[in-house]
């Protein structure tokens, strides 16, 4: 699937297209990761299907199951002027490679006084809802957003995924690109081929006047549904898709909250010490006198991701919990 013939596609196809277009445009774009070459199936979620056949196994390399080796090779290739895209099959597996990401990719530009840079992209997927239990579904974006030198991106739909991934690949800093697992299978509008979406720019996806919800990645699906439902009750919700977590687009958030006076931040990561906390404190600092209610946060339960469906369904920020939070700030 190498060109846009469809008007709609899923996020796996959009990512595949972005990788293809980036590799076609620039020989320095490389891909590596477990099972990503076509001989191994083109990636467990098919995001890299067809790439090794078209661009060769020198540029599109399957690796051993060795995340430190994957990230280290990406750092080294980036130092040598390449633009590697490393696939970490599931986000929890990046814990094995944290040293390469945090101590090396994120810091080398600064520690070398700007002599080197590390233009790599880490693609990874995660998310609860698939019965994968405690070590396959965490949202760990706050760790990376907390690390100076990293950029963190989390699209919610195929078109954004395409444009943001292109921007990550051609950005001169290390980018973590989080692909919400259920989004792989959800259809959306096809991207405009070749068009990059700038990093650090949130998008107001729904205009409203009573309350603002900021979200990103798969939780945007729930948030959009909640906003539609609440409209029936004459509650007007403004929805912001953050798209990039770091750098954080506070201007878009502050403009919206200045208008609505109320903010709910919803994400699948745990609430405590999370992205919502950072947004809340910045909003409180800038708009303290204009807020009609304290900023509310909705996220996963403070527990490891559970296996049992009965627990997992309630672990994520459900539509009900997001709705409750909105109604609470409207009191």
Partner 1 sequence: MTELTSPDTSVLLEIYRKATLIKIADDRFIELIKAGQIASPYYSPRGQELVPSAISVNLRADDYVITTYRGIHDQLAKGIPLKPFVAEFMGKATGTCKGKGGPMHITHLASGLPVTTGIVGSGLPIANGLAWAALLKKSGQVTVVNFGDGASNIGAFHEALNLASVWNLPVVFVCQNNGYAEHTKYEYGTGARDIVDRAIGYGMHGIQCNGNDAVDMYCAAREAIERARNGQGPTLLEAKTFRFRGHLLGDDGHYIAKEIMDAAVAADPMPAFNQWLIAEGHATAEQLQAIEDENRAQFEEAVEFGLSSPYPDVSELGRDVYAEETGV
Q: Is 244 in the site for partner 1 (CB under 8 A)?
A: no
- Of residues 4-43, those binding partner 1 (CB under 8 A): 30
Cβ contact 295:127 at 8 Å: no
Q: Is 251 in the site for partner 1 (CB under 8 A)?
A: no
Selected catalytic residue, list 104, 136, 210, 267: 136
CB of 68 to partner 1, least distance (A): 5
| Rounded CA separation 70/120 (Å) | 12
Burial letters 34-49, b for 16+ CB under 10 A, else e: bbbbbeeebbbbbbbb
> Between 107 and 292, whose beta carbon lies closer to partner 1?
107
> Between 35 and 314, whose beta carbon lies closer to partner 1?
35
Among 115, 234, 285, 289, binds partner 1 (CB under 8 A): 115
Q: How many residues does the chain have?
A: 331
- Of residues 79-98, those binding partner 1 (CB under 8 A): 79-82, 84
- Nearest 5 degrees, angle CA 159-CA 188-CA 162? 20
Is 267 designated active site?
Answer: no
For 38, how many CA atoms within 13 A lie in the half-sphere containing its CB? 12
CB of 37 to partner 1, least distance (A): 12
Q: Is 111 in the site for partner 1 (CB under 8 A)?
A: yes
**Cis, peptide link before residue 247, omega less than 30° from 0:** yes
Stretch that binds partner 1, among 71-79, 179-187, 212-220, 270-278 (CB under 8 A): 71-79
DSSP H or E segment with residue 54: helix 51-55
**Count of residues binding partner 1 (CB under 8 A)?**
43
* Radius of gyration for the chain, computed over Cα atoms and rounded to the nearest angstrom: 19
Q: What character string, x for contact with partner 1 (CB under 8 A) and - otherwise, covers 169-188?
A: --xxx---------------
CB of 138 to partner 1, least distance (A): 21
DSSP 8-class letter at 198: P
| Rounded CA separation 154/177 (Å) | 6
Among 15, 74, 90, 322, binds partner 1 (CB under 8 A): 74
Looking at 139-239, list the stretches that DSSP marks H as alpha helix, in order from N- to C-terminal side.
141-145, 158-169, 219-231
Active site positions, annotated: 136
Residues at the site binding partner 1, with contacts judged by CB under 8 A: 30, 58-59, 61, 63-64, 66, 68-69, 71-82, 84, 99-100, 103-104, 108-117, 148-149, 151, 171-173, 247
């Amino acid at each position: 699937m190498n060109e846009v013939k469809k008007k709609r596609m899923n996020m796996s196809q959009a990512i595949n297209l972005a990788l293809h277009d980036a590799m076609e445009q620039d020989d320095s774009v490389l891909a590596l990761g477990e099972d990503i070459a076509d001989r191994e199936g083109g990636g467990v979620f098919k995001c890299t299907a067809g790439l090794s056949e078209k661009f060769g196994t020198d540029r599109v390399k399957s690796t051993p199951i060795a995340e430190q080796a994957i990230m280290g090779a990406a750092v080294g290739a980036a130092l040598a002027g390449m633009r590697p895209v490393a696939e970490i099959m599931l986000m929890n597996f990046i814990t094995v490679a944290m040293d390469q990401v945090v101590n090396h990719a994120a810091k080398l530009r600064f520690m070398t006084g700007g002599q080197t840079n590390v233009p790599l992209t880490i693609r990874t997927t995660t998310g609860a809802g698939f019965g994968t239990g405690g070590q396959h579904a965490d949202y760990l974006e706050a760790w990376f957003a907390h690390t100076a030198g990293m950029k963190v991106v989390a699209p919610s739909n195929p078109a954004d995924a395409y444009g943001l991934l292109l921007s990550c690949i051609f950005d001169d800093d290390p980018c973590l690109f989080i692909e919400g697992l259920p989004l792989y299978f959800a259809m959306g509008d096809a991207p405009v081929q070749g068009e990059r979406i700038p990093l650090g720019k949130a998008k107001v996806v729904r205009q409203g006047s009573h309350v603002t919800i900021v979200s990103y990645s798969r939780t945007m699906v729930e948030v959009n549904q909640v906003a539609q439902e609440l409209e029936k009750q004459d509650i007007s919700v403004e929805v912001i898709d953050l798209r990039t977590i770091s750098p954080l687009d506070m201007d878009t958030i502050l403009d919206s909250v200045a208008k609505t006076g109320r903010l709910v931040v919803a994400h699948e990561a745990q609430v405590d010490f999370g992205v919502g906390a950072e947004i809340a404190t910045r909003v409180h600092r800038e708009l303290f006198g204009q807020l009609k209610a304290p900023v509310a946060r909705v996220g996963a339960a403070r527990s490891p991701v559970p296996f049992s469906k009965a627990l997992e369904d309630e672990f994520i920020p459900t539509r009900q919990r997001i709705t409750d939070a909105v109604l609470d700030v409207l009191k």
